[in-house]
Amino acid sequence: MARTGHLLSAALAVGVAVWCGCGRNRPPDVPVLAAAPTAARPLDLCRFGTVVMDPDGDSTAVRFDWGDGDTSAWTGFGRPGDTIYLLHRFQSADSYMVALQGQDNRGLVSGWSAPALVEIRDNGNLPPDVPAVPDGPASARVIEVCTMAVVALDPDSGSVSARVDWGNGTITSWSAWYPSGSRITTIGALDTAGVYGVRAQVRDWHGDTSAWSAPHTISVAAGTQPGEVRWRCRAAGGSSPAMSQDGVIYVTNRRGLYAVSDRGALLWSFYAAAYYVLSSASVGSDGTVYFCSGDSLFAVNPEGSRRWASRVRVADDCAALALGADGTVYVGSGDGGLYAFDRDGSTRWTFPTEGAIYGAPAIGSDSTIYIASTDSYLYAVKPDGTLCWRYQLEGGSRATPSVDRDGTIYIGFLNLHAVHPDGTQKWVYDTAQWIDVSPSLAPDGTIHVGCSNGCHYAINPDGTLKWLYQGRSNVLCAPALAADGTAYVSLGFSYAALRPDGSMWWEVTDPFGWVHSSPLIGPDGAVYVCLDGYLCALVGGLAPAESAWPMYQHDPQHTGRVGGPDSRP
């Protein structure tokens, strides 16, 4: 009996051994030093490399014994065939034996490699020569790409790199390495008009740098021709810009709110901490700036301090909000409701809808609030938060309504709808494609609106087509109309100025894709847009049209209200 038990145990042990042997892990191959300097100077940044090899195909990390009493930490894991590099500085002149070891992602380690000899020789090093004044243009336009060149010399005849200080607080990264005596060029552009001193600096392979050169003077002028850039602001660029009555421009991006002067200087920024900023800004009559994040409505004082924040869950692509003449703030929410907030941030009332709200509210001359929902309805809500009427669309709209002085409401979905003030249909114009933007109204009653088919439509007040301009792609921005009839529009990947007859005046393309911010026309005719991550002021024409709804959310302050900031309850 005992013998049988021993035999059974032995058989089980053999079976287990055989089964385990099928998946047994083997340690990595002993690594080989594939890249290393044979000689260097003290404090040189030396680069060492090895190719990952493992018999089981496991990912492998390595560590180095530098031979100077220091052993590195394990590197990150690389796949077989990858080359892993590590940098090290030797502090003094000597001969060092460098070895390395591998560890796979299951914890097994290889043996140490055969040591490699590295000679650190203290031959001394002289810093590069101070470069001469950079060679470049004496004048340029705002955002014009300029080339600056510098001859980089090293007394030790080593490799050299250069960088440029553009004189506006921007210093370029170091260039690639070149032989001593090379002419190294750098390109850049200046964002605002002015006179700048551009300097250069050189470094050598050992990390020593020259002093800065004497400055090269360049005079930068603002654009003067229609469509040219007056200035741009690097820090701020994203949403549809808004403007206070004293000329400060407000723009949001994913991080927060930015205030920019009418000369392009960043005045202050307000960061929304962990919040995800979703809406453009609106400016109250007292200068308070309002915008929405993922779950809050913020009120910010004109100097950039927080006034209050209230909880409201806005939709992912929330457009904006609207400001009542009495100071009430109206916001649509992603949880299906229109919220009304008092000036102190307290909730006045909530009007429920059966779908999320993506567009901004619009306020008529009688203070009725209009909002579209993804439940397929356009709602008219009384100032006390009760329903006046609702109008059914073809489906759930994400667009923002516009309101004419006679009370007609314009709203898009698959068609452009004109709705009487009593909620009955006036007419429908068939665009056969999505309309996700707000229409703008010309003084003669022409309705301007963009569509997902890339077209900009000009529609007569009776609902017939006046003209259309075919753009390149989906239109995501509301147009802005100037007093001379010029329409500043999105054509998908560009902003364009269209004449009153629908012909092109000028066009500015965004190299990074669709344009998302609706144009803003300032009182001096400047056109403010966001391009390539910048807030830009373009040379335009005349001031905004004196119409019922000439631009996104009615006016530069984005009140979203007929009569705008000058209206009173």
∠ CA 168-174-179 to the nearest 5 degrees?
130
Residue 477, pLDDT score:
86
207 and 235 belong to one structural domain: no
Domain's final residue, options 162, 190, 221: 221
pLDDT class of 107 with cuts at 50, 70, 90 = very high
Mean pLDDT score across all residues of the chain:
88
380 and 436 belong to one structural domain: yes
Complete edge-to-edge strand list for the sheet that includes strand 83-89:
33-35, 45-51, 83-89
207 and 246 belong to one structural domain: no
Residue 16, pLDDT score:
36
Domain's final residue, options 88, 120, 152: 120
174: domain range?
139-221
Contact in structure between 27 and 61 (CB atoms under 8 Å): no
pLDDT tens-digit profile of 439-494? 999 999 999 999 988 889 999 999 999 999 988 777 888 999 999 999 999 888 88
pLDDT class of 11 with cuts at 50, 70, 90 = very low
pLDDT class of 403 with cuts at 50, 70, 90 = very high
Contacts of 357 (CB under 8 A, 6+ apart): 315, 318, 332, 333, 334, 336, 337, 338, 371, 372, 373, 374
For residue 497, with 0-12 CB atoms within 10 Å meaning exposed, 13-18 middle and 19 or more buried, which class applies?
A: buried
Radius of gyration of the chain (CA): 33
For residues 163-183, average pLDDT: 95
pLDDT at residue 569 tops 60: no
395 and 541 belong to one structural domain: yes
Contacts of 383 (CB under 8 A, 6+ apart): 324, 328, 367, 368, 369
pLDDT tens-digit profile of 110-131? 999 999 988 787 766 778 999 9
Residue 493, pLDDT score:
82
Domain's final residue, options 191, 221, 251: 221
d(CA 367, CA 364): 5
Residue 39, pLDDT score:
63
pLDDT at residue 566 tops 80: no
For residues 423-449, average pLDDT: 93
Distances in whole angstroms, Cα of residue 196 to Cα of each of 138, 168, 202, 218: 10, 7, 20, 5
330 and 434 belong to one structural domain: yes
pLDDT class of 314 with cuts at 50, 70, 90 = low
pTM, entire model: 0.73
Residue 462, pLDDT score:
96
Complete edge-to-edge strand list for the sheet that includes strand 520-521:
229-233, 534-538, 527-531, 520-521
Residue 17, pLDDT score:
36
Among the ranges given (48-52, 75-79, 317-321, 503-507), the one the predictor scored with the smallest mean pLDDT: 317-321
In a domain, 163, yes or no: yes
167 and 112 belong to one structural domain: no
565 versus 133: the higher-pLDDT residue is 133
Classified as helix, coil or strand, 487 is strand
Number of independent structural domains in the chain = 3
Q: DSSP string covering 499-517, please?
A: -TTS-EEEEEE-TTS---S
384 and 492 belong to one structural domain: yes
